[in-house]
Amino acid sequence: MATSRPGNPVMRYVESRKNLIGCACGLAGLGVTLTGAAGALWPVVVVGLYGAGALIAPPERIPLPPLPDVDDQIEELRADLDTLRGYLAQIELPPAAHGRLTELDTLLGALLEPGWVTDQEHARVLARAVRKDVPEAVDAYERTRWWSRVVPGSEPPERHLERQLGALHDECVRIADSLREAEALRQETHTRYLEDRGGH
């Protein structure tokens, strides 16, 4: 349906399905009137058929908003990961947490290589990890470590950091597993196709 006058509600209704189908039914009512079947009640018949047509018309379909392309999101995420790496390079972490962070960074870098992640949900999880979860975990560690020096005796903050980084790594591993399974299925399907085509 035409959308050349988005700001004019009158023209939107004139061009709407409800009005067009109502008009078609109203014209049918005029046809009935010309046969003499409606008699003196012809205005009621025409208006009634118009109203009935407008009521039974399907609703206007609202177009989907433009959604960002996954490839564009991943490209932006790669740039954000580089920024995050620059921040993390300035933070002094204990060896265990540093090792977990290195594993997570390696996995994130692999997942964000072009052409792997094509699912919006996977892109959302990775974006949350890069833009929120990892920076927040490290910042919370830094702040808590400072207070632990002032008020000793509390649980070491590196333990929470290690657990957080481990949970994020597990989340990314699940994405990697799903990508591996998809590629394995693709390979098996292609093998069957080639064998069936060759008559094996």
pLDDT per residue rounded down to tens, the chain (200 residues): 444 445 577 677 767 777 778 788 777 777 777 776 666 777 777 787 777 777 777 777 777 777 668 888 999 999 999 999 999 999 999 999 999 999 999 999 999 999 999 999 999 999 999 999 999 999 999 999 887 776 776 778 899 999 999 999 999 999 999 999 999 999 999 999 999 987 75
The region, left, alpha or beta by phi > 0 then psi within -120 to 50, assigned to residue 39 is left
Q: Give the closest residue to 84 by CA, choosing from 113, 114, 104.
A: 104
| Residue keyed to tokens 């064998």 | 195
What domain range includes position 154? 70-198
158 and 136, same structural domain?
yes
Is residue 160 domain-shared with residue 75, that is, in the same domain? yes
Do 49 and 74 lie in one domain? The reply is: no
What does the alpha-carbon distance between residue 38 and residue 40 come to, in Å, rounded to a whole number?
6
Same-domain check for residues 92 and 42: no
pTM of the model: 0.65
62 φ/ψ angles, rounded to the nearest 5 degrees: -85, 125
**In this structure, is residue 27 part of a structural domain?**
yes
Domain co-membership, 101 together with 185: yes
Q: Are 163 and 96 in contact (CB under 8 A)?
A: no
Please tell me whether residues 120 and 93 are part of one structural domain: yes
77 and 133 share one domain: yes
**Do residues 46 and 108 both lie within one domain?**
no
For 57-156, where are the alpha helices, taking DSSP H only? 70-88, 95-111, 120-128, 134-150
> Are residues 82 and 40 part of one domain?
no
Q: Distances from the Cα of 190 to the Cαs of 115, 181, 185, 194, 195, in angstroms?
A: 19, 14, 9, 6, 9
84 and 121 share one domain:
yes
Tell me the three state secondary structure of residue 155.
coil
Co-location of 112 and 158 in the same domain: yes
Surface-to-core class of residue 40, CB atoms within 10 Å of its CB (0-12 exposed, 13-18 middle, 19+ buried) = exposed
**Number of domains observed in the structure of the chain:** 2
Indicate if 20 and 75 belong to the same structural domain. Answer: no
Element (H, E) at 53: helix 42-56
Q: Is residue 104 part of a domain?
A: yes
